[in-house]
Structure 1
Amino acid sequence: MTPPARRDGTPDKDQQPTRLRASEIQLSNARPARRQNVDPDQRRRKAATADSVAQSLGADWLVDDKPTEGVRLQKVLAQAGVASRRHAEVLIDKGRVEVNGKVVKTQGTRVNPNTDVIRVDGVRVNVNEEHEYFLLNKPRGMQSTMSDDMGRPCVGDIVAEKTMSGQRLFHVGRLDADTEGLLILTNDGELANRLTHPKYEVAKTYLATVLGEADKRLVHTLRNGIELDDGPAKADYVQIVDSHNGQSLIRIELHEGRKHIVRRMLKEAGFPVQRLVRTKIHTVQLGEQKPGTMRALNNSELTSLYKAVQL
């Protein structure tokens, strides 16, 4: 039976609820569950989308039905200087971005910058932070090696700080000790191999100071081919830059990679080389860079080399 209330309408003091002291109150730190009533079909659709993205990338992106770690594609493009993240998202939406040869239109797609090949409008983007590319102006009298058993000056002396810090740089092609000029150094083995492979016919340009005052006959001889001990050789382009006082300055471009090819061609033609400088490889130019100095290749130079060797 319910006890009667007091005249003022309040419960009898014996029936009032017990008050808890502050020290006796326990608060729960648990957060309320989110999306407690997610549609099962929606879950399946999301899982199928993640799976299709992984397959399109041609990589093993799913482990135990969960995506592995990677970097968002728009962030990678922004870090590479292609565009801001927002603009990168627009490029992705328009289907202008490829990963490993597949067009990717899914926002938030994760990629591995160290292994995946990413292109925008068909042009490869350098996103691998582990790869380094340098242009060295090799001085005359220096060996094109990273070390020399005989203690002679070598390229490794200039890049000692890089090699000591763990970077294994190697040169693209060689220049003999008496030849100076442009030498590309990188730790990207695939690019280095292709740049030196005869299949891709990467052009190299030299400035040669020779004995004798050259005329158009030398241009004709070098362009049409000259017979050497190991077979015929010809230049792709020849220009007489200057000729006076018994010497000439010749610009010669060719894609041959045989040893001492420029010196041997000019000697056979009757114009022995006194000084030889390589000034250009494909579109990468030495410019006004001083001997013994090194600089990083810029994005446009690197993109041009990628195109030249179909990377």
Structure 2
Amino acid sequence: MDTEGVRLQKALANAGVASRRVSEQLIVEGRVRVNGEVVTELGSRIDPETALIEVDGTVIQLDQSKRYVMLNKPTGVVSTMKDENGRPDLRQFTQDWEERLYNVGRLDAETSGLLVLTNDGDLAHVLAHPSFGVTKVYIAKVSGRVTAQTISRLTKGIDLDDGPIAADKARLLDTSGGDSGTSLVELTLHSGRNRIVRRMMSAVGHPVVELVRRQFGPLHLGTLPAGRARELTTVERGALLTLARAATEEPSPGDQETQ
């Protein structure tokens, strides 16, 4: 352990994990790892710029210059920080932060829901790159009455112009669309091929009327209103960083990203 640097309990407290006294207790109880090794000595020092710290298996954000924001993107907004055609873009949602934030992946203009904005390029790469297989959950309002057989087709796999695709999970939420004759379907996918949810539902005869992304990896949209953005909580940041570490250790096959 470094003789220079910051005391481990101070680094934990600065990262918002707990008070310094509680952080000391976590260390003594053997619940803290530094670069993969359990550390129980209270005098231990670390370099906050290079050390990887975990508490109970969750990675802790030490670099306080990194910003992680959740946005509930409304429809009619394109997933870019500056649209060359003058359409509403994401800049209006980043004005509360001094850092230059960028969107992780995309949602098409007609799709609403969860987008991550960050200035952490390494994390953004893992979350957006298809090879890491981060799952996303969508709720689709579709035309027609969806049957159990259709749900089965979605999970068993269907053929599209750019190759076969299968949902990781699919379930029918509601068919009580009344006179409108619509259904609600929940799809879980690790693929991010261009407009994949819309194309999948059209392929089984149920075009999408409305589409929202409710989950992205470990993040849940919750009650965040459309058009609002907030910083991730300490727990959410830890979950994302932990996912990113696991993904880079065990990459999995995937596709590309835009819904």
Report the TM-score range of the alignment, normalised by the length of the smaller protein. Answer: 0.7 to 0.9
Please give the alpha-carbon distance, in whole angstroms, between the structure 1 residues aligned to 2:242 and 2:183.
34
SS across alignment from 1:171: strand
Q: After TM superposition, which residue ranges in structure 1, 4 or more long, deviate above 4 angstroms?
A: none
Determine if the alignment matches structure 1 residue 144 to structure 2 residue 79: yes
CA spacing shift, 1:120–1:161, aligned 2, 3 Å: closer
Highest relative contact order (Cα 8 Å, sep 6+), 1 or 2? Answer: 2
1:185 positional shift: 0.8
Preserved CA contact (<8 Å) 2:17 2:234: no
1:242 positional shift: 1.5
Q: Partner amino acid for 2:48?
A: P
1:1-311 correspondence runs (5 A)? 53-54=1-2, 68=4, 70-162=5-97, 165=98, 167-243=99-175, 244=177, 245=179, 246-310=181-245
CA spacing shift, 1:250–1:94, aligned 2, 3 Å: closer
SS across alignment from 2:241: helix
Q: Partner amino acid for 1:178?
A: E
Deviates more, 1:144-153 or 1:70-79: 70-79
Residue 36 of structure 1 aligns with which residue?
none
1:155 positional shift: 0.8
Residue 254 of structure 2 aligns with which residue?
none
1:183 positional shift: 0.3
Preserved CA contact (<8 Å) 1:113 1:129: no
Q: Partner amino acid for 2:148?
A: K
Deviates more, 1:214-223 or 1:113-122: 113-122
Preserved CA contact (<8 Å) 1:114 1:130: no
Q: How many residues align?
A: 243
Instruction: Give the structure-2-normalised TM-score.
Output: 0.86
Preserved CA contact (<8 Å) 1:115 1:128: no
Larger radius of gyration: 1
Please give the alpha-carbon distance, in whole angstroms, between the structure 2 residues aligned to 1:310 and 1:109.
23
Please give the alpha-carbon distance, in whole angstroms, between the structure 1 residues aligned to 2:38 and 2:103.
34
Preserved CA contact (<8 Å) 1:200 1:308: no
1:161 positional shift: 4.1
- Deviation per CA, 1:232-262, whole angstroms, max 9, x where unpaired? 0111111211223321111111111111000
Q: Partner amino acid for 2:186?
A: R
Q: Partner amino acid for 2:172?
A: I
Instruction: Give the structure-1-normalised TM-score.
Output: 0.73
Residue 38 of structure 1 aligns with which residue?
none
1:186 positional shift: 1.0
SS across alignment from 2:126: helix
Where structure 2 has 5 or more consecutive residues not aligned to the other structure, the ranges are 247-259
Q: Partner amino acid for 1:124?
A: V
Preserved CA contact (<8 Å) 2:79 2:108: yes
